[in-house]
Structure 1
Amino acid sequence: MSFRVTFVAAARSSPLLAERFEDDRPLDQAGWEEVQRAAPELLPLAAAELRYCSPTPRSRATGDALGFAPLVQPALRDCDMGRWRGFTLGEAMAREPESVDAWLADPHATPHGGESLLDFITRVGGWLDTRPVEDGGRIVAVAEPSVIRAALVYALKAPPSSYWNIDVRPLSTTTVTGLRGRWNLRFDGVAGQTTRA
């Protein structure tokens, strides 16, 4: 049984350098404007048999604004960052530089008291592997960029350290096709943006 899961990265809720761990802020004005520009390209994804989203306000708002009427999936929540929740990476580094270095270097590390990177990747991958869909079915999931990076690492069976080398831009789409344990990656691009040569 083969099916397709298209991940849509949530529109932004802050400038890149102001992004916070487990950010629960709603879309900012720029995020709303991005959704409006991208909507014509992304609206066809609403025809998917199953439509999901992360539990964050910006993921829910992005899915709703695109007409997906997504079902919230707790398994698609961001990585549990423990006491670093709400910090930017810079703030965590200023307070606990050795702990941040350990967390970045070791996928098993939990210096913040939350979830390890490996556990996060495994949780998101478990969600991916257990979707109830018919052969040839389509799923769309609006999620935080971190969740999409975790799904891609899992789908490609890449080393956890590759998580740090994947860049997921707001409203970009990435599709994995296949079935449990056998995934293929397809790059779809960034909605609402033109490519320059």
Structure 2
Amino acid sequence: MPLRVTFVAAARSSPLLAERFEDDRPLDQAGWGEVERVAHELLPLAAAELRYCSPTPRSRATGEGLGYAPLVQLGLRDCDMGRWRGLTLGEAMAREPEAVDAWLADPRATPHGGESLVDFITRVGGWLDTRPVEDGCRVVAVAEPSVIRAALVYALKAPPSTYWNIDVRPLSTTAVTGRAGRWNLRFDGVPAQTSRA
């Protein structure tokens, strides 16, 4: 039986259009409400032998709220957005429209002075590939949607531009099974009534 890594997307701490690069805000009241509504559905994942989370406050809080007691993994941190950290996409576009266009068009570009999309995907994939390879081991990882998108692009060996075509909703789960260099995607669904635009 192959290794199974189930990603749980962190609950949202703001409406979608107010999402910020490398957002380090904690869960708000609505985010906690979402966690409470789906906790019974996601609690069985706490039986995983290994439980991890991204270092962001909302990922840690989501993992704790779901009863996972996750271990923080720096390899699951969000993309380093350099001087755009804390900005919304709209704010970055208003300040540096040509730089944002270059960043969206070229997965190797780093106009913000941080990490390129290719480097981000490679880093997250490296974390995935270094999970224990014991047969049947189950892993759960609570992470930012961007981290899960990067992991999926890596697992599927898809072109980096695919990253922009993957939608990961708050508190959704997605699993990959396999081992280093050979991953299969498995969709486990999205809990009802968790989106907040």
Alignment of 1:98-137 (within 5 A): 98-137=98-137
TM-score normalised to structure 1 length: 0.97
- Contact 1:41 1:192 (8 Å CA) reproduced: no
In the alignment, structure 1 residue 58 sits paired with structure 2 residue 58: yes
> What secondary structure, in the 3-state scheme, does the structure 1 residue paired with 2:185 have?
strand
Aligned-pair CA distance for 1:193? 3.8
Letter in 1 for 2:191: A
1:41-52 equivalences under 5 Å are: 41-52=41-52
CA contact (8 A) 2:12 2:170 kept: yes
Q: Give distance in 2, aligned partners of 1:193 and 1:138.
A: 27
Three-state SS of the structure 2 residue aligned to 1:190 is coil
Aligned to 2:183: 183
Aligned residues: 194
Root-mean-square deviation over aligned CA pairs = 1.1
Q: Distance in 1 between the 2:54 and 2:107 partners? A: 22
Q: Which residue of 1 aligns with 2:150?
A: 150
Find the residue that maps to 1:94 and give its secondary structure.
helix
The residue matched to 2:162 in structure 1 has which SS? helix
Unaligned runs of 5+ in 2: none
Tell me, yes or no, if structure 1 residue 40 matches structure 2 residue 56: no
In structure 1, the gaps of 5 or more residues are: none
1:2 Cα deviation from its structure 2 partner: 2.0
The answer (yes or no) to whether the contact 1:34–1:192 under 8 Å persists in 2 is no
TM superposition shift of 1:88: 0.1
Report the CA distance between 1:133 and its aligned residue: 4.3
SS of 1:174 mapped into structure 2: strand
Counterpart amino acid of 1:109?
A: A
- The aligned counterpart of 2:168 is 168
Identity of aligned residues (%): 88
Please tell me the residue identity of whatever aligns with 1:146: S
Q: TM-score, normalised by structure 2?
A: 0.97
Give the superposition deviation at 1:191: 1.9
CA distance in 2, matches of 1:35, 1:175: 19
Q: Which amino acid aligns with 1:173?
A: T
CA contact (8 A) 1:118 1:160 kept: yes
Instruction: Return the alpha-carbon distance in structure 2 between the equivalents of residues 193 and 185 of structure 1.
Output: 24
> Does the CA-based 8 Å contact 2:8-2:173 persist in structure 1?
yes
